[in-house]
Amino acid sequence: MTVSALPSDLAKKAEVIQGSNKGTMKKAASAGATSIEVSYTSVCKEGGLATKDTSGCFTDGAEVTVGGVSIGTPTKVENKYRTLAGFSTAAKKKMSGWKTYPVYAAYYSQYADGDYANQRVLAALDKTGICSACDDAARVQIAKKTSAYMNVWMYVIHEFEDAIADCKSGCIDCNDDPVHAWDEGVAFYTGTLEGTDGSGSGKLLHTLADKRCGNFGTCSAGDKKSDVNAKLFPLFTKGKIALQQSKCDEVRPLLDTIVSHMSIPLVQGTLRYAYKVAKLQGGSKEFAEGAAFSAAILPRVHACSADAAKTIAANLNMEIAVADRMKDGMAAVKTAIESVYKCLGITCADVGGLISTGTEYYEGAEPCTDAEPEGAVTTASEGVHVQPATALFLGLPILAHLVASVQ
């Protein structure tokens, strides 16, 4: 709000009232200031939508009080919104110093403003750029999946990165803001539609993980909940507790693991729709879904192996000709993405295989096999693999078992 010079200091969170609208001061303002920032919740919808609803908006047409004291009638009111587009358009400014975003910005360097995700969504909505030849079915998939799995995906990580950057070691009372940022990351990962027990009809990353686990046999035993979410939420809690306890150095490795787990559904989505296009006569819709998933993971793949990324992009890029879709076949794409699992911090078991019915996998989409850790010891009779440190700990019983097996 643009206002007359304030007669006195205004405190953060002081109540702001204009008629029936109520809000709070987003930040403190000093005497003499000519603008204030106010946070409020209402039906006010001035931004983005073609249809406006200004019935619940603060305006420049009535007196405003702060903490019960009048500050006069604003001369200008500008309502600002946090949007899915904003997650991307602000990325270059907010995230260039983080670990994950620069990998994506470098891969999509043709977007000079760093808003690669927003530009891809706009291309789908406007039928331009990567979607200049898209039909409507493809445009829908690119717009929806890019918004959720590129815009939101990266912003979740940004919130976690922001929390780490703001954490102050040895100052427990200083870390309310980092914990708040961490909580926001979890909220954006989950979305509002999940409900309190995670069984809602969500649209964001939590639901994606649960959907893909059913496709790939990676749900927790006895339910339809994903191993990904089962592993992520304890990590979310550990990160929050470490921030609360001012143990800032403990949060970075947790976030690295979180990013790896968050990548699994993107890999699964890439494989699922690659198979549909290559083997199950998938059309423009299925190809667009595969292109959206692959676009969301390709920067991380490229950071591991430029050759693997090149193979995947050559088969699933939205801009390739229809005749060239999955031209190298499923095996080539599957091999390429599996070659970087270790670098991505995931395993064959994490990803699983594409299920046709029951526990049967589609031919050519079975789970891969993780390489044995170097230096593992194998017992002769049972094929039990033991890490060297474990073997030393077990000592003579292992040696005795080996001798017995040989005899």
- Domain closes at, from 81, 98, 130: 81
The answer to whether 311 and 294 are in contact (CB under 8 A) is no
* Residue 370 belongs to a domain: no
Quick one: how many helices (H) and strands (E) in the chain? 17, 9
Determine the pLDDT at residue 240: 96
Verify that 307 and 231 share a domain, yes or no. Answer: yes
Domain that holds residue 385: 377-406
Alpha carbon separation from 332 to 59, 309, 323, 327, 364 (Å, rounded): 59, 11, 17, 9, 11
Determine the pLDDT at residue 374: 59
- Domain closes at, from 49, 81, 113: 81
The answer to whether 25 and 38 are in contact (CB under 8 A) is yes
Determine the pLDDT at residue 108: 98
Q: What is the C-alpha R_g of the chain?
A: 26
Verify that 26 and 111 share a domain, yes or no. Answer: no
Verify that 144 and 246 share a domain, yes or no. Answer: yes
Verify that 21 and 166 share a domain, yes or no. Answer: no
User: Can you spell out the DSSP letters for 277-325?
Assistant: HHHS---HHHHHHHHHHHHHHHHHHHHH-HHHHHHHHHHH-TTS-GGGT
* Residue 112 belongs to a domain: yes
Helix H or strand E encompassing 389: helix 388-394
Verify that 120 and 38 share a domain, yes or no. Answer: no
* Residue 121 belongs to a domain: yes
Helix H or strand E encompassing 385: strand 385-386
Per the rule left: phi > 0, alpha: psi between -120 and 50, beta: everything else, 98 is: beta
Verify that 221 and 294 share a domain, yes or no. Answer: yes
* Residue 56 belongs to a domain: yes
Interatomic CA distance for residues 243 and 185, integer angstroms: 14
Verify that 195 and 217 share a domain, yes or no. Answer: yes
The answer to whether 356 and 317 are in contact (CB under 8 A) is no
Helix H or strand E encompassing 355: strand 355-357
Q: Residue 282 carries which side chain, given as an amino acid letter?
A: G
Interatomic CA distance for residues 87 and 104, integer angstroms: 14
Q: What angle do CA 138, 141, 146 make, to 5 degrees?
A: 125
* Residue 368 belongs to a domain: no
Verify that 267 and 294 share a domain, yes or no. Answer: yes
Helix H or strand E encompassing 105: helix 101-107
Interatomic CA distance for residues 264 and 217, integer angstroms: 13
Verify that 66 and 103 share a domain, yes or no. Answer: no
Determine the pLDDT at residue 116: 98
Verify that 382 and 396 share a domain, yes or no. Answer: yes
SS3 113: coil
* Residue 372 belongs to a domain: no
Record the tokens describing residue 361, joined without a space: 């996998």
Upper half-sphere CA count for residue 295 (Cβ side, 13 Å): 28
* Residue 366 belongs to a domain: no
Instruction: Tell how strand 15-18 and strand 65-66 pair up.
Output: antiparallel
Determine the pLDDT at residue 375: 59
Q: Hey, how many other C-beta atoms are within 10 angstroms of the C-beta on 132? A: 11
* Residue 202 belongs to a domain: yes
Verify that 32 and 99 share a domain, yes or no. Answer: no
Verify that 97 and 188 share a domain, yes or no. Answer: yes
DSSP 10: B
Interatomic CA distance for residues 121 and 83, integer angstroms: 13
- Domain closes at, from 81, 116, 149: 81
Tally of domains in the chain: 3
Q: Hey, how many other C-beta atoms are within 10 angstroms of the C-beta on 326? A: 22
The answer to whether 124 and 142 are in contact (CB under 8 A) is yes
pLDDT in 10s for each residue of the chain, 407 residues: 999 999 999 999 999 999 999 999 999 999 999 999 999 988 888 876 788 888 899 999 999 999 999 999 999 999 888 889 999 999 999 999 999 999 999 999 999 999 999 999 999 999 999 999 999 999 999 999 999 999 999 999 999 999 999 998 887 777 788 999 999 999 999 998 988 777 778 999 999 999 999 999 999 876 779 999 999 999 999 999 999 999 999 999 999 999 999 999 999 999 999 999 999 999 999 999 999 999 999 999 999 999 999 999 999 999 999 999 999 999 999 999 999 999 999 999 999 999 999 999 999 999 999 976 655 444 333 333 333 333 333 333 333 332 333 33
